[in-house]
Structure 1
């Protein structure tokens, strides 16, 4: 089931259908009389790179550490604010294509769909006996948005097409083209809710260092007449019309000023349009589908279910059946993969807080990269669902951020290595945010983004087993992040190493004096992240034969001295080194459970039980991404029924005009509802499904670790596990029935099962069984496929 379908057009943005090729995004509304494509381009951000300004926070850092040691936590908060820097820049909307039909708005048999197996949106309806059809896709091979309009009766198409933008712009015509040119704002201070008030100015532009952009719309018609004037593309008496939209920006790189001349943008657009328009629509469509399916079709997920008798609109079906509709469970899973492919392709910017789709000049949280959970969560499904190439944009961001982070760390703190804080943007901002002391340290001051982002470098290696990537790209960045952590750590109680100042992202605590605090030392998440980075550096050094290097020895010694995790008075895993009381016991963040998921520091024993108690105390309520993290956590904890209960919350349609912070769910177009929209909820759901079916974080593969009782029969194909393996698996009566393994790296495959296994391959060189732990180890040949029957 790979189709979203509706019997009505989109009235609001979160009802529209998302299209994307990694760089260009569009939201297709599908109106009858007026159709709209709201447009985005992934480098369209406010600002040029930040002007060089010296920040020296070494004295502030000394003072805040002294205040924390003296337990003067209120003063420590104030002193920490002295280390704040400017806010990040904001992701901007490009504009709109509007297609006005001259046939009125009374239609019958309306149908609107998004086919995520082909990445094509479509609309059809009947007006006055004519069936009107349109379909759209954004081609990655040709880098254009393509829209096909058709009428069932000859010469029945009469349309006016316009372009506009919420930014400063001007419109012009050239032959059968309409051209939109504009400039982003140089600075856009964030507003964390929907405030769309930015000045819109038409006409000539003043010189600016901001990003310039041009969008160009062209057309071909089989018959009829085309005219282009006064900013309008008019088509009369046509039967079939193909529209092509290309866009270019003056972005020159994260560390360069944008270009200032539209001539280069015009040249790029003309070349793109000429190439796309030189071939047939059928060929454009075929090449688009082939390219997209080379990624999408790698992975199949199927559950055994009965199709509902009445085919409802997708949102109505969710409302009626919720997570009990296993067809919708499948659809939402693959929708996450569709959105990742559509917003993150090799060579593009990584998916931001809203993927690639944004219609507001002041998007929620600036639609930037929020590094204390959200940007990383976007990529949880990348490796495991066979989309390693889609992970590359985030990896490139990390490499660029490390450059700015190294300069920032040296200037601000006088330390080695690199770090980043709560937010970054197109310009790879690494400094703490918060403005002129207006922010709060619980989100503004958090220098631990480096270790978390380095986990993505490590995961790209452990799934791909690409030693060249590890040696040349990943380990140098991981090493520099580790150097910062070595320098940042301070000696605390009993000779242990800890962090100071330290915050647990976005959560407050009560001090022993009953005051509200945010800044302390040794937040559990800090130490889990550093443990994770140190462990991965040590393992990488073993892989590359560098385990005796001096810096690795330093990492090993420091890892042994990290302040250990603590179990608190409620039996919970402590969020801070001190057993503070939570200000919000049901807070949306569960930062101190990083060591359970996505990390692997806590896998059994009392700490794992304490992690479960923490989750129980937090409760199951949650907004979109928070609910998604809980889904992944309970899946890793092998509680499929608990996960299924969380699905019941997630499969809750949030009305498109509801932007109140209530329990999360999904919008009518299945976008994750924080609310407002954040795409991480979609991605974490997809990752959580995989975690329920297969896990490989403990050094072996666990099959069906968290299957709920409603998933009696199913199959999954193309799943990736650590060690360089690809797995196809089917199950019946909640038991594995068939397992097919492709070995991409020549490593032994170790898995756990309580059932007898028949090995169908005669050329398996060696097999060993650990009867106590139920582990089977099979030595495999690289690039060979093996089949096991249970």
Structure 2
């Protein structure tokens, strides 16, 4: 069918459109006690600044974050002589001497120096994402009688609230991250006059140069380390914007006495250069002061209204709704109680919907155009040494963070990923030359705001050489979803040079004459050779070859659209036909993970990298490669359903692409397994959700949240493959909880926006809006609902 730019195609039956209203159960996270850990806190953020609210009625903590607070700094992470060892390493691999190849690689083909510090690089040049510090609120009465305690985070409004009775008096606290004024707001009120009596102060455990209060303001200044040198400067400032009680300052604290209402604004800044990396010569103290001066003239309620309007302009673009059941019971339960309830097999239709809405909330709150991408923890950290440095892992994690951006109508929020990828190119060219004497650019596994592109410091994980190319495929996918030709022209060189690098380094393996990458590895997994050698270093791991086909195909198509590089495109077309193909293991019937049919050291490994061709790429599918699809099913069965958070999230998308909605839902249930830090509720399989629905990797890692949402979107709508086919409900579970529902604002490739309803597991109405015009084909599940009706307009 051809759809004009303004035409809405509606597929209807006699069944009426569902009118489903969102309930609190699908937009509200609920607690009945203060947080004892940040995984029980209420996270808020606006893409640059964030906070986690603990809600303690005696000694409260508001943990603060700013997306660019990183220790470390620019460095030369490359070994200048690495290229001299490339051919010897490759020759060993060609001769089957993988042990000798790996030994040589570990000596001469890893990062120069400590690299990431093996995931603990806070005091190294690589650096570490860190907490900004805390705002502490210490009440004068330390032994109150507290009752009627309640905390909520509403993901439809991006506002966190805490309420309780303190010695019979109602206390109410509200907080939000301002999307317009770029600060954190805290408002506290007392039902009885004069009952707000507390000290408040800013606190940070290290790298502080000054911390003092004066008048109505608190100011904390500091400078982080960059290895042995001084690095990034930062400032945190808080101001009592409005208070009807007495205010006094002493040392680093402000005392509030006999107040009924108090409004606090918190500003945070660093001297990081978002455009080009490195540090700016700016006065961070003056910058936060300007933020507070601007806020001092603002009204709290109007600021909240304006911020919510901006937030909802993103959030409301896509909404999933499913009719509530047991609503009276569910709405009385805290979110942790709901997780327990759900894990016991009890009905909670709204919990997966809340998870979907929450994941989108987290992306809106941690990714803003012009800034850094969401990192391993999004925006939220309480540590000075975050797990794995809170960095950008490019062997799946940062990519998974942005899978939901295109499908759930948040394309604009992926801009930080594209800008970051573009900023990797300059260093990536140097790394490509020093290690491979290759043209183009490369980034391996780990990256930071200083644009580190060198290999990691270990063979098992650090040598994967397709991280940058994988990042570049997101640029191509963004074009597929938006049809923004100007965007494609801007970032085309990033795609092209990633392809040129891979073209430059391919070698011919001896058994079949296929072109393969070398040296590389299959992310974080190990093989066992027939001679018993256990290793990581290899040539042509399956994921590398799939990514190579993906980026070559993207370059060919982009070049044709932009009328560029015909010679390169023709060359790549030829090379694609000679790349090592996907292979089915004669031993176990699954997709081979390596070029040879080797056994995995860990057959249940969390990475399932050799199914990149199933998702996010689409070369393994039922219409082009049914045999490979069956092998992919076997691979997943062999891998098993257990895994870390992001691993289970990826498996949701895998099973959705296969078309098995029941198994996809099983994996989603795994993500919704309750996990508690106090050990009361124990994990059985290494993943689940904490009380605030943060993903339990473990520890907390936000890619599981984002990947879970992306998987749910794949269950409801798919548009990969040839001919712009939009597939409705391709993996809808048969579970009664998914019997009926409604979704609006999902995006399909080709820049189509889709809205539809279903009842009794059958599609009832669908509307497709062609935002760029053009063709689309529609595939609808068989049944008594709409099915394969030919319509043209």
Q: Normalized against structure 1, the TM-score is what?
A: 0.91
1:642 is aligned to 2:668: no
CA-CA distance at 1:259 after TM superposition? 4.6
Classify 1:335/1:648 alpha carbon distance in 2 versus 1 (closer, same or farther; 3 Å): same
SS at match of 2:289: helix
Match of residue 614 from structure 1:
635
Classify 1:312/1:756 alpha carbon distance in 2 versus 1 (closer, same or farther; 3 Å): closer
Match of residue 95 from structure 1:
133
1:527 is aligned to 2:545: yes
Q: What is the distance in 2 between the residues matched to 1:363 and 1:187?
A: 16
1:428 is aligned to 2:451: yes
Match of residue 602 from structure 2:
584
* Range with bigger deviation, 410-419 or 303-312: 303-312
Given that 1:753 and 1:775 are in contact with CA atoms closer than 8 Å, whether structure 2 keeps it comes out as no
Q: How does 1:95-174 map to 2 (within 5 A)?
A: 95-103=133-141, 104-169=143-208, 170-174=210-214
SS at match of 1:382: helix
Given that 2:763 and 2:785 are in contact with CA atoms closer than 8 Å, whether structure 1 keeps it comes out as no
Given that 1:221 and 1:238 are in contact with CA atoms closer than 8 Å, whether structure 2 keeps it comes out as no
Q: What is the distance in 1 between the residues matched to 2:716 and 2:255?
A: 53
Q: What is the distance in 2 between the residues matched to 1:61 and 1:591?
A: 24
SS at match of 1:507: coil
Structure 2, unpaired ranges of 5+:
1-25, 117-125
Q: How does 1:604-683 map to 2 (within 5 A)?
A: 604=622, 605-657=626-678, 662-683=685-706
Asked which structure has the greater RCO (Cα within 8 Å, sep 6+), the reply is 2
Q: What is the distance in 1 between the residues matched to 2:167 and 2:230?
A: 52
Instruction: Name which of 95, 107, 114 aligns with 1:70.
Output: 95
Q: How does 1:34-73 map to 2 (within 5 A)?
A: 34-51=59-76, 55-73=80-98
Match of residue 58 from structure 2:
33
Instruction: Name which of 203, 211, 222 aligns with 2:232.
Output: 211
Given that 2:77 and 2:452 are in contact with CA atoms closer than 8 Å, whether structure 1 keeps it comes out as no
Match of residue 306 from structure 1:
325
Instruction: Name which of 368, 378, 384 aligns with 2:391.
Output: 368
Instruction: Name which of 363, 367, 370 aligns with 1:340.
Output: 363
Given that 1:48 and 1:257 are in contact with CA atoms closer than 8 Å, whether structure 2 keeps it comes out as yes
CA-CA distance at 1:276 after TM superposition? 1.4
1:185 is aligned to 2:228: no
Classify 1:174/1:463 alpha carbon distance in 2 versus 1 (closer, same or farther; 3 Å): same
Q: What is the distance in 2 between the residues matched to 1:329 and 1:268?
A: 41
Q: What is the distance in 2 between the residues matched to 1:166 and 1:689?
A: 40
Match of residue 402 from structure 1:
425
SS at match of 2:665: helix
SS at match of 1:185: strand
Classify 1:380/1:250 alpha carbon distance in 2 versus 1 (closer, same or farther; 3 Å): same
Instruction: Name which of 39, 44, 48 aligns with 1:14.
Output: 39
What whole-Å deviation, never above 9, does each CA across 1:313-365 have from its counterpart, x for those lacking one? 11011101237411111001110000000100112210000101111111111
What whole-Å deviation, never above 9, does each CA across 1:39-85 have from its counterpart, x for those lacking one? 11111111121158662311211110011112111111111112111
Q: How does 1:199-598 map to 2 (within 5 A)?
A: 208-253=229-274, 257-259=278-280, 264-310=283-329, 311-322=332-343, 324-434=347-457, 439=458, 441-473=459-491, 475-493=492-510, 494-546=512-564, 549-568=566-585, 569-598=587-616
Structure 1, unpaired ranges of 5+:
189-207, 760-770, 780-790
What whole-Å deviation, never above 9, does each CA across 1:410-463 have from its counterpart, x for those lacking one? 2332110001011000111001121xxxx2x12111111122111110111110
CA-CA distance at 1:607 after TM superposition? 0.8
Given that 1:248 and 1:269 are in contact with CA atoms closer than 8 Å, whether structure 2 keeps it comes out as yes
SS at match of 1:567: coil
CA-CA distance at 1:93 after TM superposition? 1.2
Classify 1:637/1:724 alpha carbon distance in 2 versus 1 (closer, same or farther; 3 Å): same
Q: What is the distance in 2 between the residues matched to 1:728 and 1:158?
A: 51
CA-CA distance at 1:209 after TM superposition? 3.5
CA-CA distance at 1:756 after TM superposition? 10
What whole-Å deviation, never above 9, does each CA across 1:296-322 have from its counterpart, x for those lacking one? 011110112313433111101110123
What whole-Å deviation, never above 9, does each CA across 1:237-291 have from its counterpart, x for those lacking one? 1111000000111213575642567xx1121111111111202111111111011
SS at match of 1:84: coil
Q: How does 1:735-774 map to 2 (within 5 A)?
A: 735-753=762-780, 774=788
CA-CA distance at 1:405 after TM superposition? 0.5
Match of residue 759 from structure 2:
732
Given that 1:751 and 1:777 are in contact with CA atoms closer than 8 Å, whether structure 2 keeps it comes out as no
Given that 1:49 and 1:254 are in contact with CA atoms closer than 8 Å, whether structure 2 keeps it comes out as no
What whole-Å deviation, never above 9, does each CA across 1:3-38 have from its counterpart, x for those lacking one? 011111101111111111111121100111122111
* Range with bigger deviation, 277-286 or 306-315: 306-315
